[in-house]
Structure 1
Amino acid sequence: MNQLVAQRRAAGESLVHLAFGEARLPLLPELAEQLAIGATRTSYGPVAGSLQVRAAVAGYFTRRGLPTDADQIVVAPGSKALLMAIQLAIPGDVVLPRPAWNTYRPQVNYAGKQGFGVPIPAACGGVPDPEALQDKLIRARREGATPRLLILTLPDNPTGTLAPPELIRQLCALARAEDLLIVSDEIYRDIVHDPAATPFSSPAELAPERTIVVTGLSKSLGLGGWRIGAARFPDGDIGDKLRNPVLAAASEIWSALAAPMQQVAAYAYAEPPEVTQRMADAARLHGHVARAVHRIAVAAGARCRPPTGGFYVYPDLEPLRPQLAARGVTDAASLAEALLEESGVVVLAGHLLGDDPGALRFKAATSLLYGDEQQQAAALAAADPVALPQIRANLAHVAHGLAQLTDQRSVAAEDVI
């Protein structure tokens, strides 16, 4: 998708790219300094990571209400690598929310397992509906499957929502009753838009003996290209039985996180003031722009969960099906194609995230609206980032594109932002 956008922009097309989940933040200068300091470290080091970086990550979790020892931590070149190693090292089939991040299912397939998608609740994404999950487990076992792992995403990619504590409690109780291991992908944890109004509950608080938490610096600090991820395993013998086979897989796949990146990670996870301020500024920026795109989608007639974390919205254009059908738009794929060809708005169709192919849903990554590096810095500093010219122009493009597609009066960005 990125290559397609680059090619068409090079040919002179005006496109608004909303199909790639990159944070698009300027590099914090102190992180560049740490990378330079670590550049002389050329040895492999321990597979799990140095004691320095593991202690820093343990402190990060401890400050978030999860007392953690350094021996529970593994660092890796990105959380994606850790998620793959978990699939390879820990047996059992996998239950996924539907829709979900588009990497989970291919990883399940590569590991030779079966994946079972379970619809998400009406109020939020990232977790399966508990009743539907129970039914899915019964049917899967009747068919000879062995569901063992349950993946949760908190906050969620693709819906930009955070499951509430009560729902997490229900799922943890169900996981205990059904002997499921929980893999909690919390890479967006530090991008809750309003933490005071949106409490965060990790499964590791409620079912610590059966929860692996995966995180990283790609989203909160915009370091996707540096590939820094971390996992927290349960403590004690149970944790060792999970962590050791993952370390064995890691030893054969990536050996160790690059030593310069461990230097960066140790600094970032220690959370000095400039890092905590950057994360707070980024969460505020993501929230402002995601809510603006949400308002545009709703004004165009879509149903859409209000975003509370991350930098995504997930509009559902089902109320507009008659108008769209008249234009030949009948499913997620044709919807994404029409938005691209008729409006120059690039989105990720819902069926690529495991959703119903016939549904009229798509994911929009709102962080791609911030502009170039200089404009991103201005957006981070702005009291009202959606008023900045670059962001406002991109929002107007999206508003016009949705209105054009559904044969409505063009919605002016200022009317809904």
Structure 2
Amino acid sequence: MNVPISPTLAANEEIARRRKHGQQVVNLAFGEAGLPVHPALRDALAQASGKNAYGPVAGSVALREAAAGYWSRRGISAHPDLVVCGPGSKALLYGLLLALGGDVVLPRPSWVSYAAQARLVGVHPIMVAPPPGEGGVPDPELVAAAVAAARARGRTVTSLLVTLPDNPTGRLARPETVRRLAALARELDLTIISDEIYRDLLHDPAATFLSPAEVAPERTVVTTGLSKSLALGGWRIGVARLPETGLSEPPHASNPHASNPHASNPHASNLHGRLLGVASEIWSSPAAPVQHAAAYAFGEPAELVRRVAASRRLHGIVARAVAEHFTKVGAHLDDPQGGFYLYPEIAGFAGSAELAAVLLDRHGVAVLPGTAFGDAPDAARVRVATSQLYGESDEQRTAALHAEDPLELPWIAASLRHLEEALTALRIFG
């Protein structure tokens, strides 16, 4: 199987290559949190540096208990015995697709790795557009028909994946949409996988967030990690909350329980056990020192709660500033609501590939084309990540984190000027 490098990672390497050759590039392509590690987390990691033994496949008891507590504080029932830890939520998502089997319903657009992982597993991604103004969820009005059409072709469809809030659009699904999807999942006998890694980075902490695990806890898996909220991408740690009841084997038309949300499924099998089997053969167990630090983080001590709040504020300020620059040149985009992403559309281009190429080659601005996220080739939409604007050093990034107005910092202001000039020239070109 010929598997290309993930577009986000490939873009980051290309930017590094261009910069090495002296080209000035504003990096709006790579979705890394762009902030330094909190000193308390460094201390926690150092304290556990002597832990060099393999641990339980599911993860340490301390980490699973801490993760269960994290979800419980957010209104999601979670038992430590049904928490599985892995080397990043990305690995857990792949393990889940393997363990579940069957095709998966995805929003179009959606994070680059979802569809790629489905194909690696040997199943089909079923791409469904989101409701207008939303992102990260397939439109409930279209899901049933898409699943019915796939099953009519003899496909087995077992799961539906959502991202709350979303990458690439930066939008959050409305609670009523989540409720409708949960009801559909019961009717269609689908497992919901809810990727909530950006949950703690909603720009408005008072915004209404509804997880499908609150609506359909018996068939929802929730994944998260520390790569975004605490900028620990390189530490590679993620956790998954599994349902307390068994999840069905691939559904068949003859299954009399498929539309009954309260019926026990006679074909129920142990997703927890299947996922652990996959994990045992791929990563054995997460790195022990990182688990120790992650258990501390998921316990949410006051100093880390403050860090996440400061990060959320910074991400929101910079994302909104970048959105304003795109809006000024006539781009169509919805206001960012979470994380550090925008998904603007600019008229006058044959598609996202041309738009992204012109921005990079002529104007030194790196973005990702919408086609990387499953979007239509003729749609001139690109994913913009704003978190690499905070600085090139830990000192600059820390200053951005604590600045009253980070937009006034010289390095951020310079990048925004570069972007403004590029977009102005782009409008003339277009």
What TM-score, normalized to structure 1?
0.94
Residue matched to 1:18:
28
2:114 aligns with one of 104, 108, 113: 104
**3-state SS of paired residue (2:107):** strand
| Aligned mates of 1:129, 1:236 — CA distance in 2 | 27
Structure 1 residues 232-282: Cα deviation after superposition (integer angstroms, max 9, x where no partner) = 001144597111100000000000001001111110000100110100100
Match of 2:201 in 1: 191
For residue 175 of structure 1, what is the aligned residue in structure 2? Answer: 185
Aligned partner of residue 112 in structure 2, secondary structure: coil
User: Helix, strand or coil for the counterpart of 2:270?
Assistant: helix
Aligned to 1:345: 365
Q: In structure 1, what is the Cα distance between the partners aligned to 2:96 and 2:294?
A: 21
SS of residue paired to 1:149: strand
In structure 2, how many angstroms separate the alpha carbons of the residues matched to 1:11 and 1:93? 43
CA distance in 2, matches of 1:76, 1:240: 21
Q: Secondary structure at the match of 1:99?
A: coil
1:121-160 equivalence runs, <5 A? 121-160=131-170
- Seen in structure 2, the aligned counterparts of structure 1 residues 309 and 242 have a Cα distance that, compared at 3 Å, is same
2:399 is the alignment partner of 1:384: no
Aligned-partner residue type, residue 345 of structure 2: D
Aligned pairs (5 A) from 1:1-80: 1-80=11-90
Q: 1:336 aligns with which of 348, 351, 356?
A: 356
The secondary structure found in structure 1 opposite 2:76 is coil
Partner secondary structure for residue 384 of structure 2: strand
Deviations 1:354-392 (A, max 9, x none): 000111000010001111221110111012212221111
Deviating beyond 6 angstroms after TM superposition, the runs of 4 or more aligned structure 1 residues are none
Looking at structure 2, the residues matched to 45 and 14 of structure 1 have their Cα atoms a distance apart, in angstroms, of 45
Rounded Cα–Cα distance in structure 2 between residues aligned with 1:46 and 1:285 = 37
Post-superposition Cα deviations, 1:6-43, rounded to whole Å, max 9, x if no partner, equal: 11111111110111110011110011101111111111
Counterpart contact for 2:77–2:217, Cα < 8 Å = no
Structure 2 CA distance for aligned equivalents of residues 236 and 146 of structure 1: 21
Structure-2 residue corresponding to 1:234? 243
Number of residue pairs matched by the alignment: 399
CA distance in 1, matches of 2:389, 2:271: 40
Structure 1 counterpart of 2:331, which letter?
A
Equivalent in 200, 213, 216 of residue 225 of structure 2:
216
Task: Indicate how the Cα distance of structure 1 residues 240 and 95 shifts in structure 2: closer, same or farther if over 3 A, else same.
Answer: same
CA distance in 1, matches of 2:343, 2:99: 33
- The whole-number CA distance in structure 2 between the counterparts of 1:235 and 1:141 is 27
Query: Is 1:287 the counterpart of 2:297 in the alignment?
Result: no
Identity across aligned pairs (percent)?
Answer: 51
How far apart, in 2, do the equivalents of 1:141 and 1:398 lie?
46
**Partner in structure 1 of residue 262 of structure 2:** none
Q: Does 1:363 align with 2:372?
A: no
Deviation at 1:67, TM superposition (A): 2.7
Aligned pair in 2 of structure 1 residues 240, 274: CA closer, same or farther (>3 Å)?
farther
RMSD, aligned α-carbons: 1.3
- Distance in 1, matches of 2:151 and 2:413, equals 51
Paired residue for 1:225, among 229, 234, 240? 234
More divergent stretch after superposition (387-396 vs 299-308): 387-396
Deviations 1:56-78 (A, max 9, x none): 11110011111322111111100
Aligned to 1:326: none
Question: Which has the larger displacement, 111-120 or 130-139?
Answer: 130-139
Q: Distance in 2 between matches of 1:386 and 1:13?
A: 24
Which of 127-136 and 272-281 deviates more? 127-136
1:283-316 C-alpha deviation (Å, 9 max, x unpaired): 1100001111111111110100100001000001
Question: Structure 1 pair 252/178, CA: closer, same or farther in 2 (3 Å)?
Answer: same
Query: 2:149 corresponds to which letter in structure 1?
Result: R
For 1:324, the equivalent position in structure 2 comes to none
Q: 1:153 is matched by which residue type in structure 2?
A: T
Unaligned 5+ segments in structure 1 are: 322-328, 410-417
Q: What is the CA–CA distance in structure 1 between the aligned matches of 2:152 and 2:80, rounded to whole Å? A: 41
**Partners of 2:424 and 2:134 in 1: CA distance:** 26
Structure 2 unaligned blocks of 5 or more: 1-10, 248-267
- Letter of the 1:35 partner, please give it: L
Q: Distance in 2 between matches of 1:159 and 1:386?
A: 22
Query: Is the Cα–Cα contact under 8 Å of residues 218 and 244 in structure 2 kept in the other structure?
Result: yes
